[in-house]
């Protein structure tokens, strides 16, 4: 992605005024009110699209993915990013390009440790990241709040209020960033402790009970590091740590049939050497303190179930010095049939570059690797399994808490888009009025109803035997 305002190196880059004029001109081509439209293809087949995603996944895990999507309209929405991408491709597109998350629903935001050991809030899932029109992320985020609100039993009026808060915060934050230097935008981040302190100070004393509980969860997040993961996932056998079997969710290397454990471990050690080269030099030095001692296959998420994900235990020769990394398979983004293929050499690199572009600070062990297998080349991205990671318990959010959460997500997405896109053009397009906010909220209402219908269609396909699902896992 070229820097915003870069004309390609031959002419002078555009000024802020020229870039803003470009954004305002897009209003004539794609009026802000047009974002309320939901257009569906006459040949639309959401179940058929979802079944195409089984290709390349571990066959015995695909029914688990379907079972998790079956639970509710919200879990279905989480796994149906491909369906929504196909539908968004039918809607008016501004062409105001940013680095898209590609799956910007509210559960793909959360807290984690920054390299300077602060708990920060940011986008935290980039499997589908790709450059594209900014509104695709905004619409997916907005709709997720309607779907989640309905799952929580909130009425239409309250759901609309929540979505309006998310989109208004997004619009106003983009406009604020357009008035700041790019370095200020690049350094901006949401520090969880600072946000909690400001919010607590604004609350009447009678409303601070819920915040006290939330701060308790924050305190717990500080314990969720590699050593905590090791204590939960491993046991000691003959003086050596080994990953504990918990099939079908966690299957250690020694339990994988038709594989020679020693050969696999040696091959993975070679791959880690390649992964090491994708890190910064100082982080390569840090990684060199550890060696790979055990691996296991792990089932992750909802939409990702069935893709290959490995947890890797690395230990040093010093007691209590260990690290748990996760290597997660990266296939083409669900956006690629509609927004174009990635220019990156590998899908793992695509994910890592997108994450580094959108996040204010990223995992110090974030990198990628490519493995040659009997099934062909497989791309992976690598990160710590957990490092103070904390996600909101969406089902327990009250309407007021979800409004606050919507603002946090709206601000965060705006910051990510302002970093990667043309903040002047975006701000000018969005404008001072709430036309964009109202239109996207209308879209979210309509698309949430379509998602509920798609969930029913999916459930019927399971009942009819077209789709195999395994529930309760």
Give the structural domain span for 23: 16-220+398-464
119 inside domain: yes
31 and 138 in a single domain? The answer is yes
470: in domain:
no
Nearest-CA neighbor of 145 among 106, 97, 185, 198?
106
* pLDDT value for 122: 94
The total number of structural domains in the chain stands at 2
Do the strands 119-123 and 234-237 form a parallel or antiparallel pair, or are they unpaired?
Answer: unpaired
Pair 216, 261 in one domain = no
Task: Report the alpha-carbon distance of residue 86 to residue 128 in Å, rounded.
Answer: 13
Burial of 261 (0-12, 13-18, 19+ CB in 10 A): middle
> Rounded to 5 degrees, what are φ and ψ at 294?
-160, 155
For the beta carbon of residue 110, count every other beta carbon within 10 angstroms. 18
Domain co-membership, 31 together with 164: yes
Establish if 38 belongs to a structural domain: yes
User: Which of these three, 384, 419, 441, is where a domain ends?
Assistant: 384
Q: Is residue 439 within 8 Å of residue 36, measured between CB atoms? A: yes
Give dist(CA 149, CA 441) in Å, integer: 13
Please, how many CA atoms are within 13 Å of residue 76, restricted to the half-sphere of its CB? Answer: 24
Same domain? 123 vs 144: yes
Are residues 427 and 325 located together in one domain of the fold? no
Burial class (CB in 10 A: 0-12, 13-18, 19+), 39: exposed
> Does residue 1 lie in a domain region?
no
Is 106 in a helix, a strand, or coil?
Answer: helix
CA 112, 116, 118, 122 dihedral sign is negative
Tokens 């029914």 appear where? Answer: 63
Per-residue pLDDT tens listing for the chain (473 residues): 777 766 555 567 899 999 999 999 999 999 999 999 999 999 999 999 999 998 877 888 899 999 999 999 999 999 999 999 999 999 999 999 999 999 999 999 998 888 887 889 999 999 999 999 999 999 999 999 999 999 999 999 999 999 999 999 999 999 999 999 999 999 999 988 777 666 555 555 554 555 555 555 554 554 555 566 677 788 878 777 888 888 878 888 777 655 566 666 777 778 888 899 999 999 999 999 999 988 888 877 665 665 788 889 998 888 778 889 999 999 999 999 999 888 887 999 999 999 999 999 999 999 999 887 666 788 999 998 865 677 888 998 999 989 999 999 999 999 999 999 999 999 999 999 999 999 999 999 999 999 999 999 999 999 999 999 999 87
Residue keyed to tokens 């050596």: 240
Residue 139 falls within a domain, yes or no? yes
- Taking phi first (over 0 means left), then psi (-120 to 50 degrees means alpha), and beta for anything else, what does residue 50 get? alpha
Q: Is 132 found in the same domain as 49?
A: yes
447 and 298 share a domain?
no
Structure token pair of residue 164: 């309006």
Whether residue 256 is preceded by a cis peptide bond, meaning omega within 30 degrees of 0, is no
Q: State residue 56's pLDDT score.
A: 76
Q: Which of 357, 384, 411 is the last residue of a domain?
A: 384
Contact 112, 48 (CB under 8 A): no
Question: What angle separates helix 209-221 from helix 192-202, to the nearest 10 degrees?
Answer: 170
Rounded-to-5 percentages of helix, strand, coil across the chain: 50, 15, 35
pTM metric for this prediction:
0.89
In a domain, 333, yes or no: yes
Q: Are both 346 and 299 inside the same structural domain?
A: yes
My answer on whether 275 and 198 are in the same domain is no
**Same domain, yes or no: 376 and 245:** yes
Cα 457 → chain centroid = 26
* pLDDT for the residue 299: 74
Please say which residue of 327, 351, 384 terminates a domain.
Answer: 384
Q: How far apart are CA 155 and CA 162, in angstroms?
A: 11
Predicted pLDDT of residue 207: 47
The reply to whether 216 and 263 lie within a common domain is no
Q: Which of 105, 34, 74, 36 is nearest to 334 (CA)?
A: 105
> Is 142 within a domain?
yes
Contact 326, 385 (CB under 8 A): yes
Pair 184, 293 in one domain: no
Residue 413 within a domain: yes
Residues in contact with 354: Cβ distance below 8 Å, sequence separation at least 6, in sequence order: 99, 101, 126, 129, 130
Reading the block at residue 115, the tokens are 């390299």
């Amino acid at each position: 992605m070229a820097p915003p305002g870069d004309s390609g190196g031959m002419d002078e880059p555009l000024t802020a005024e020229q870039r803003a004029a470009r954004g305002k001109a897009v209003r004539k081509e794609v009026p802000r009110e047009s974002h309320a439209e939901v257009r569906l293809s006459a040949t639309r087949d959401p179940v058929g699209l979802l079944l195409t995603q089984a290709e390349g996944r571990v066959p015995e895990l695909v029914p688990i993915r379907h079972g998790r999507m079956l639970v509710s309209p919200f879990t279905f929405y989480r796994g149906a990013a491909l369906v929504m991408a196909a539908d968004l491709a039918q809607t008016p597109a501004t062409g105001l390009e940013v680095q898209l998350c590609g799956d910007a629903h509210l559960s793909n935001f959360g807290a984690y440790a920054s390299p300077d050991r602060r708990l920060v809030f940011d986008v935290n899932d980039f499997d589908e990241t790709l450059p594209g029109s900014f509104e695709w992320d905004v619409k997916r985020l907005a709709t997720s709040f309607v779907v989640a609100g309905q799952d929580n039993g909130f009425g239409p009026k309250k759901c609309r209020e929540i979505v309006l808060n998310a989109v208004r915060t997004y619009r106003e934050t983009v406009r604020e960033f357009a008035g700041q230097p790019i370095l200020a935008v690049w350094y901006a981040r949401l520090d969880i402790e600072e946000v909690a302190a400001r919010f607590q100070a604004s609350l009447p004393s009678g409303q601070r009970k819920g915040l006290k509980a939330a701060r308790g969860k924050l305190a717990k997040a500080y314990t969720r590091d590699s050593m905590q993961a090791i204590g939960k996932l491993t046991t000691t056998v003959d003086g050596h740590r080994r990953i504990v079997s918990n099939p079908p969710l966690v299957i250690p290397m020694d339990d994988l049939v038709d594989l020679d454990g020693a050969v696999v471990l040696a091959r993975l050690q070679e791959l880690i050497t390649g992964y090491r080269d994708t890190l910064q030099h100082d982080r390569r030095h840090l990684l060199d303190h550890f060696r790979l001692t055990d691996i296991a296959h792990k089932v992750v998420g909802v939409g990702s179930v069935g893709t290959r994900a490995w947890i890797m235990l690395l230990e040093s020769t010093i007691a209590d010095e260990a690290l748990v990394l996760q290597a997660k398979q990266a296939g083409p983004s669900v956006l690629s049939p509609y927004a174009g293929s990635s220019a990156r050499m590998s899908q793992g690199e695509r994910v890592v570059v997108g994450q580094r572009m959108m996040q204010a600070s990223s995992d110090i062990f974030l990198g990628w690797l490519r493995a040659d297998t009997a099934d062909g080349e497989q791309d992976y991205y690598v990160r710590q399994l957990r490092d103070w990671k904390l996600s909101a318990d969406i089902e327990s959010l009250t309407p007021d808490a979800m409004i606050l959460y919507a603002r946090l997500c709206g601000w965060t997405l705006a910051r990510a888009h302002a970093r990667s896109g043309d903040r002047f053009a975006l701000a000018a397009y969005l404008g001072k009025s709430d036309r964009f906010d109202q239109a996207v909220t209308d879209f979210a209402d309509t698309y949430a109803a379509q998602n509920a219908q798609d969930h029913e269609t999916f459930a019927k396909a399971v009942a009819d035997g077209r789709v195999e699902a395994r529930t309760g896992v």
